[in-house]
């Protein structure tokens, strides 16, 4: 094979490697061509003047290029994931156990901050957040106006970080009490959502007959009719949860 053919096929292989990211079936196609041509070359050395062994050799080059491109894309994604995690939390510089500096190390296929002295690894796992869609017996749902950043002044469902020792349902009920001063009974899970540093669990509550009022962290708390929901709802995941709940409830 000439050098030019090799070069062209290698560039083609890199290109198909990038396509592999989108269409995983290309990888299978390459494998079929590779094994097919290898077996064919044992029995039929030449087809229309083309040596079948050359096709096998080309498919090897393609395979190599594809795995290179695949590897590069994966490491790029891992790096982006790590950057997202880095910006989603305060960046710790020292080990909470022994105060030694933390450094980036690859552990379990991801870059993480690990202690240079002891076994501490900052896993940076997402924190669970419990939220509630609370319908009112007279129609509408309870929303609270955020009194703290982020998105202070915008509306959202009563929600907050879970405490140690409570179930997600209890967390949703507690937050509803703290933010909107309503006592709820959780009915079922409606929606889950994974943000970079949080996992949100949205629960549907049984309809309440109480009038909400703002508690801690909230500037306002009230029942909005479903056709008059505010346009400035703070998080798209809350909007999704409301829409899913509405669809399920046929409202």
Find out whether the peptide bond into 63 is cis, omega within 30 degrees of 0.
Answer: no
Nearer to Zn ion, 115 or 241 (CB): 115
DSSP 211: P
Binding piece for Zn ion, criterion CB under 5 A, among 6-14, 97-105, 125-133, 152-160:
97-105
* Residues 95 and 120: beta-carbon distance below 8 Å: yes
Binding mask 43-82 for Zn ion (x = CB under 5 A): ----------------------------------------
The residue behind tokens 């594809």 is 66
Q: How far is the CB of 78 from Zn ion (least distance, A)?
A: 24
Q: How far is the CB of 127 from Zn ion (least distance, A)?
A: 22
Contact call for residues 195 and 131 (beta carbons, < 8 A): no
Q: What residues are paired with 47 via a beta bridge?
A: 50
Instruction: Give the nearer residue to Zn ion in terms of CB position, either 29 or 121.
Output: 121
Query: Which residue in this structure is represented by tokens 């949860």?
Result: 241
| CA dist list (Å): 231 to 155, 156, 224, 234 | 9, 11, 12, 9
Binding track over 98-117 against Zn ion, x by CB under 5 A: x-x--------------x-x
Which of 30, 57, 95, 131: binder of Zn ion (CB under 5 A)?
Answer: 95
| From 71, 97, 152, 206, residue interacting with Zn ion (rule: CB under 5 A) | 97
CB 215 within 8 A of CB 209: no
Total number of residues that touch Zn ion (CB under 5 A):
8
Contact between residue 193 and residue 200 where contact means Cβ atoms under 8 Å apart: yes
Minimum Å gap between C-beta 104 and Zn ion is: 15
- Find the shortest distance in angstroms from Cβ 86 to Zn ion: 19
Of positions 10, 53, 82, 120, contacts Zn ion by CB under 5 A: 120
**Would you give the distance in Å from CA 108 to the centre of its chain?**
18
Distance between CA atoms of 164 and 183, rounded to whole angstroms?
Answer: 20
Among positions 161-180, residues that touch Zn ion (CB under 5 A) are: none
Question: What residue ranges bind Zn ion (CB under 5 A)?
Answer: 95, 97-98, 100, 115, 117-118, 120
């Amino acid at each position: 094979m000439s050098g030019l053919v090799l070069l062209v096929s290698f560039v083609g292989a890199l290109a198909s490697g990038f396509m592999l990211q989108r269409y995983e079936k290309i990888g299978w196609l390459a494998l079929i061509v590779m094994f097919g041509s290898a077996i064919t070359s044992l029995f039929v050395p030449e087809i229309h003047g083309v040596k079948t062994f050359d096709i096998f050799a080309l498919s090897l080059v393609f395979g190599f290029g594809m795995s290179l491109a695949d590897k590069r894309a994966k490491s790029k994604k891992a790096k982006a994931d790590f950057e997202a995690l880095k910006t989603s939390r305060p960046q710790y510089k020292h080990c909470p156990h022994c105060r030694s500096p933390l450094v980036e190390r690859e552990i379990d296929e991801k870059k993480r901050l690990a202690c240079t002295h002891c076994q501490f690894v900052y896993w940076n796992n997402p924190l669970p957040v419990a939220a509630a869609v609370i319908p009112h017996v007279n129609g509408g749902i309870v929303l609270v106006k955020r009194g703290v950043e982020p998105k202070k002044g915008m509306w959202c469902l009563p929600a907050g970080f879970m405490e140690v020792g409570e179930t997600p349902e209890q967390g949703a009920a507690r937050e509803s009490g703290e933010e909107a001063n309503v006592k709820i009974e959780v009915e079922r899970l409606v929606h889950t959502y994974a943000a970079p540093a949080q996992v949100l669990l949205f629960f549907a509550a049984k309809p309440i007959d109480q009038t909400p009022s703002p508690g801690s962290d909230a500037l306002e708390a009230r029942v909005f009719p479903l056709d008059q929901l505010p346009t400035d709802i703070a998080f798209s995941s809350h909007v999704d949860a409301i829409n899913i709940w509405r669809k399920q409830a046929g409202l």
